[in-house]
Amino acid sequence: MHIPILHQTQYWLAVNKPAGLNFHSEDGEAGLVALLRQQLGFELYAVHRLDKLTSGIVLFGKSPEAANQLAEQLRNRQMAKFYIALSDQKPSKKQGAIVGDMAKSRNGTWRLTRSKENPAVTQFFSYGLENGLRLFLLQLHSGKTHQLRVAMKSLGSPVLGDAAYGTKAEVDRGYLHAWAVRFVFDGETIELICPPSEGEAFASPVLQLQLAAICPPWALPWPKL
């Protein structure tokens, strides 16, 4: 499997992770990191990760120092990360913020709680499409496991194709995609946008028009948290 390279410098690179691919190798099947190592021929250092269901932008440092510099921006909420998702269920609200601590459930999934001691923080807008589908633009302000999938479920709108969090629709993929990222590296502002390249529902002309209308996502009127 060839992994698309979105952008590359001497210090770091960004790739487009395919949906359905594990980040690390599991059960004898090569994951994203191993495939990139084979493809590029050198070691990479992960800045963050995406779970198997999710496609889109992943950043790697070419050295531990570069990876740490980028990861520090993530920890300090200086890196803007935007995802898109589809759902076939109406949300409890059409835009706003989802804030709460996350706790592990007995079945291995996660759930949002009412407490806010170390909360997951997600902002979102949503837009009606066709055929009962709704597009969600999500801005990540923390990096919890399954954060966006749990946030979508808490709205009553689980990600289309996400069987673990409640959707029963039989579709060709899980419809969650890391769409855009904006950060500064060595004084240079980096802005990357990665259109989804897989999934029949993502190819919808109505959806494509809506994505064009909200691009770039960092220019939208996001309210202050």
Residues with catalytic function: 51
Cα 138 to Cα 122: distance, rounded to the nearest angstrom: 7
Cα 45 to Cα 144: distance, rounded to the nearest angstrom: 19
CA distances from 133 to 35, 88, 160, 164, 169 (A): 34, 5, 9, 19, 12
Cα 81 to Cα 163: distance, rounded to the nearest angstrom: 24
Residue type present at position 30: A
Both tokens of 126, joined, read 């949503």
**Which residues, in sequence order, are bridge partners of residue 80?**
182
Cα 85 to Cα 37: distance, rounded to the nearest angstrom: 29
